[in-house]
Amino acid sequence: MNEKNRQNIILKELQNFRDKDFTFSSGHILGSMCTQPHPIAKKAYMNFLETNLGDPELFPGTKEIETKLISFISRLLNAPKTATGLIGSGGTESNITAIWLAKNLSKKREIIIPKSAHFSFQKIASMMDIKLIPVSLNQDYIINISNIRKKINHNTAAVVGVAGSTELGTIDPIPELSEICKDEDVFLHIDAAFGGFVIPFLKELGYKIPDFDFNLKGVSSISIDFHKMGYSAIPIGALIIRNERCLDEISVKTPYISRKKQTGVLATRSGGPVAAAYAVSEYLGMEGYKDLVKRCMNTTEYTVKKINDLGLDLILKPTMNVLGIKLKNSSKVVKKLTELGWKINDMDRLSAIRIVLMPHVTKKIIDDFMPNLEKACKEIGEL
Ligand SMILES: Cc1ncc(COP(=O)(O)O)c(C=O)c1O
């Protein structure tokens, strides 16, 4: 068999596997915080496939793109001149890096997190021998601010606030957290992996939501993901840190590559996602992202109305493009919807299902989905 035929056979085999996947383009993935990347991301990604940002002296051009991307995201988050950024694989890596930094700076081992925090903090606890101090949520599913001061003590390495929670898209009262952490001189990390590309634009669109970024003097670092609402290709997120001079705390000497020091978790890192994210950010610009958020919020409001018309209730009025629908038997409804070809998340601890109105979810998709949701709910006895 010739070389070309062998390749074709392997590619055909891969395609058969791929055909088993759900796709964003079908619109049937309603429960993911990722989306089909903008078309320009795909082209840019392919052109940078062999680049390695772990050895930037070999790829100085790709490194320049990374620097520009960090500047873009720093501007979005109102980062001061002292700030710096690390590009990583997404929210988990950024959260790991932030807590690693806070732990090394403080030499302490407890972090205070809201109960709504992403499960990456469980990994962090196990990985770094950190004790998690969970704080209850109030009736709006945000951190109970009155409990924070009581929980801060001589072991506290950091407080975490969430700006766009994974389950419901809620935003913790970051201005109050900032004040407390400033007074107590505690590192405040904001997990805006999802909300970072939403909140700044919601504000411009006139939504009344709390501040969350570096304009608040107590904020020490922020996680933000390009592969979520940044409309780019997996895997890429950024951690922006207020003070560049802390970086030594998470750097090691690298005797055998072209740079003498390396900062952050990973060594070898593809420039592909960086080029892709830069292409999308250049193409859309701040105005393009604002339009995207506006479109997602329109679809969210449309979906809320359809859900109410069906006679179902939401857990709470959505803050952003994430909805929780109350159900008695959420797992059964999710199972039924999967049989009907729709992927939606079960949040059984909240007795709810989650829909994320990402850019690939249009009003037409929602119109197609609603009869399926109704059917599933009727069969399970929710309606
Ligand atoms: C708020 C938040 N933080 C962190 C993460 C983890 O991000 P990743 O899956 O990119 O590691 C998520 C994922 O949904 C998230 O919603």
Which pairs from 329-333 meet CB under 8 Å and 24+ separation?
329/380, 329/381, 329/382, 332/380, 333/373, 333/376, 333/377, 333/380, 333/382
Tell me, using a 6 A CB cutoff, whether residue 225 lines ligand 1: yes
Among 135, 137, 140, 131, CA closest to 150 = 135
Tokens of 323: 């909805």
- For residue 198, give the amino acid letter: V
> In the chain, how many H helices and how many E strands?
11, 12
Which residue has the least CA distance to atom 7 on ligand 1? 91
Tell me, using a 6 A CB cutoff, whether residue 91 lines ligand 1: yes
Domain 40-281 has CATH 2.40.160.10: no
- For residue 221, give the amino acid letter: S
Return the pLDDT at 256.
82
- In angstroms, the CA 293 to CA 299 distance is 10
Q: Sheet with 84-88: list strands edge to edge.
A: 84-88, 237-241, 221-225, 187-191, 156-162, 110-114, 131-135
- In angstroms, the CA 129 to CA 111 distance is 11
Mutate-to-test residue for ligand 1 from 32, 93, 118, 197, highest number of ligand atoms within 8 A of CB: 118
Residue 52 in this model has a pLDDT that exceeds 90:
yes
Return the pLDDT at 257.
78
Q: How far is the CA of 174 from the centre of ligand 1 (A)?
A: 18
Tell me, using a 6 A CB cutoff, whether residue 33 lines ligand 1: yes
List where CATH 3.40.640.10 sits in the chain.
40-281
Mutate-to-test residue for ligand 1 from 89, 92, 121, highest number of ligand atoms within 8 A of CB: 92
pLDDT in tens, 225-281: 999 999 999 999 999 999 998 999 999 999 887 788 999 999 999 999 999 999 999
222, 172 contact by CB (below 8 A): no
List where CATH 3.90.1150.10 sits in the chain.
3-37+291-380
Atom of ligand 1 nearest to the CA of 93: 11
Tell me, using a 6 A CB cutoff, whether residue 169 lines ligand 1: no
Residue 67 in this model has a pLDDT that exceeds 90:
yes
- In angstroms, the CA 91 to CA 165 distance is 12
pLDDT in tens, 309-364: 999 999 999 999 999 999 999 999 999 999 999 999 999 899 999 999 999 999 99
- In angstroms, the CA 183 to CA 151 distance is 14
pLDDT in tens, 145-183: 998 999 999 999 999 999 999 999 999 999 999 999 999
Return the pLDDT at 259.
82
Block residue for tokens 């499960």: 119
pLDDT in tens, 108-118: 999 999 999 99
Domain 3-37+291-380 has CATH 3.90.1150.10: yes
- In angstroms, the CA 312 to CA 326 distance is 7
Is the pTM higher than 0.85? The answer reads yes
Task: Give the whole-number percent of the chain exceeding pLDDT 70.
Answer: 100
Q: How far is the CA of 266 from the centre of ligand 1 (A)?
A: 18
Tell me, using a 6 A CB cutoff, whether residue 56 lines ligand 1: no
Tell me, using a 6 A CB cutoff, whether residue 172 lines ligand 1: no
Q: How far is the CA of 118 from the centre of ligand 1 (A)?
A: 6
41-50, 92-101, 259-268 — which is least confidently predicted?
259-268
Return the pLDDT at 255.
84
Tell me, using a 6 A CB cutoff, whether residue 237 lines ligand 1: yes
Tell me, using a 6 A CB cutoff, whether residue 141 lines ligand 1: no
Which residue has the least CA distance to atom 4 on ligand 1? 91
Among 321, 99, 322, 87, CA closest to 225 = 87
Q: How far is CA 60 from CA 173, 264, 295, in A?
A: 41, 19, 37
Average pLDDT over residues 186-196: 98
Which residue has the least CA distance to atom 8 on ligand 1? 91
3 pLDDT band (50/70/90 cuts)? confident
- In angstroms, the CA 101 to CA 119 distance is 19
Tell me, using a 6 A CB cutoff, whether residue 270 lines ligand 1: no
Among 269, 306, 334, CA closest to 66 = 269
Omega within 30 of 0 (cis) for the link into 175: no
- Beta bridge partners of residue 343, listed in sequence order: 29
- In angstroms, the CA 337 to CA 375 distance is 9
Main-chain dihedrals φ then ψ at residue 260, nearest 5 degrees: -80, -15
